[in-house]
Amino acid sequence: MNTLTRRFALAALTATLAIAALPTAHAKERVLNIYSARHYQTDEALYSNFTKQTGIKVNRLDGRAEELLERIRNEGANSPADVLITVDAANLSVADAWGIFQPVQSKVLESRIPANLRTPTWFAFSTRARVIIHNRKLVKAADVATYESLSNPKLKGMICVRSGMHPYNLSLVASLVAHNGEAATEQWARGVVANLAMPPRGGDTDHIKSVASGECGVAIANTYYLARMLNSEKVEERNLMKRLGIVLPNQSSQGVHINVSGAGVVKTSKNREAAVQFLEYLASDQAQRYFAEGNNEWPAVSSVKVENEGLEDIGDFKADSLPLEKLSQHLVAAQKLLDRAGWR
Ligand code: FE2
């Protein structure tokens, strides 16, 4: 087992699972068992519309990504899971590396999902971007125009980050390895560690608040967290966003790092046909809207548009078109170099 999968296995073993058993199906009733690490308000409509269209009953089991991965692995050939939905290319890649998915060939998915957002086994259904945020008073936007700039000694004591083991950072760093090579990215990671305001901890929302308060000058955040704050009904959350600037990095190079929510058909699925039908449904216009709106993301199908004021405030940008399949090939190197750089 490589470093990356060992990390995930460890995390999964220490995590507690509080999920009820799935109900058993009645004879002849068509069912689909979905294990999902995504759970949002729009989910009910997303799943009930599929049932309305196809007559296939959906049983859902919600959990954290690493719990669901470990669970499917432990269930082995007896796993009731037909579809696994989770977030971030790093999680989807680990599921793939563990042999959890099976190849899916579908003309619908191939025509609807852009080639860089799918692999032979899993498909993206929404996208998010990982951007740089800065305290307007402490750090100039021009000083954090690229991910690479985060290693500039000018930013000493300014940066707050998540753990280097977190999938969001693993994916971002894997993309940098793909673009800049391993040696340059390790040097960069050491520079970022030297600039930290505090040891890596907390999540993107913590960092948004810390940047707004001035506890940190710079952080990295996924766009849906920013849109959630920009769209917040709480006036204090909207006001807090006024104190920070959002930088869409690397506009004159590869573009902003893009990540996804995605899904694949589980290798041991007993309802394969229904599972593929569900993935194709997820690529439909209506499902794309529900899926993206549930978490302030963008639809993976480019012709589908959503109205989201927060995302519109963030603005248009050049996105990194690095195929996620390529990115996943650098995840283990990313994990190892982050370890060596002391970004824990
Ligand atoms: Fe998240």
pLDDT at 4 over 90: no
User: What is the average pLDDT across 89-113?
Assistant: 98
Rounded CA-CA distance 64/39 in Å is 10
Residue 24 confidence (pLDDT): 60
Least confident window among 41-45, 135-139, 238-242, 297-301: 41-45
Q: Give pLDDT tens digits for 8-67.
A: 544 444 443 434 456 665 557 899 999 999 988 888 899 999 999 999 999 999 999 999
CB 215 within 8 A of CB 240: no
CB 154 within 8 A of CB 145: no
> Residue 68 CA to chain centroid, in angstroms?
15
Degrees to nearest 5, angle at CA 187 with 207 and 167:
45
Give the closest residue to 7 by CA, choosing from 339, 342, 258, 261. 339
Tell me, in angstroms, the distance from the centre of ligand 1 to residue 121's CA. 23
Q: Give pLDDT tens digits for 168-187.
A: 999 999 999 999 999 999 99
Tell me, in angstroms, the distance from the centre of ligand 1 to residue 88's CA. 9
CATH code assigned to 3-126+260-308: 3.40.190.10
Tell me, in angstroms, the distance from the centre of ligand 1 to residue 24's CA. 32
Helix (H, G, I), strand (E, B) or coil at 57: strand
Tell me, in angstroms, the distance from the centre of ligand 1 to residue 204's CA. 7
Give the closest residue to 81 by CA, choosing from 64, 62, 96, 94. 62
Tell me, in angstroms, the distance from the centre of ligand 1 to residue 96's CA. 20
Per-domain boundaries in the chain = 3-126+260-308, 129-257+332-340
Tell me, in angstroms, the distance from the centre of ligand 1 to residue 102's CA. 26
Tell me, in angstroms, the distance from the centre of ligand 1 to residue 268's CA. 28
CB 233 within 8 A of CB 96: no
Tell me, in angstroms, the distance from the centre of ligand 1 to residue 303's CA. 25
Q: What residue type is 20 in one-letter code?
A: A
Tell me, in angstroms, the distance from the centre of ligand 1 to residue 144's CA. 22
pLDDT at 98 over 80: yes
Rounded CA-CA distance 318/43 in Å is 30
Topology agreement, domain 3-126+260-308 and domain 129-257+332-340: yes
Residue with tokens 């824990």: 344
Q: Give pLDDT tens digits for 316-341.
A: 999 999 999 999 999 999 999 999 99
The shares of helix, strand and coil residues in the chain, as percent rounded to the nearest 5, are: 45, 15, 35
DSSP 85-129: EEESHHHHHHHHHTT-B-----HHHHHHS-GGGB-SSEEEEEEEE
Tell me, in angstroms, the distance from the centre of ligand 1 to residue 182's CA. 26
Q: What residue type is 240 in one-letter code?
A: L
Residue 19 confidence (pLDDT): 44
Instruction: Give me the percent of the chain exceeding a pLDDT of 70.
Output: 92
Q: Give pLDDT tens digits for 264-295.
A: 999 999 999 999 999 999 999 999 999 999 99
- Assign 211 a pLDDT band (cuts: 50, 70, 90): very high
Least confident window among 41-45, 299-303, 310-314: 41-45
Tell me, in angstroms, the distance from the centre of ligand 1 to residue 97's CA. 22
CATH code assigned to 129-257+332-340: 3.40.190.10
Residue 237, classified by CB atoms within 10 Å of its CB into exposed (0-12), middle (13-18) or buried (19+), is: middle
Tell me, in angstroms, the distance from the centre of ligand 1 to residue 36's CA. 14
Tell me, in angstroms, the distance from the centre of ligand 1 to residue 257's CA. 15
Rounded CA-CA distance 289/307 in Å is 9
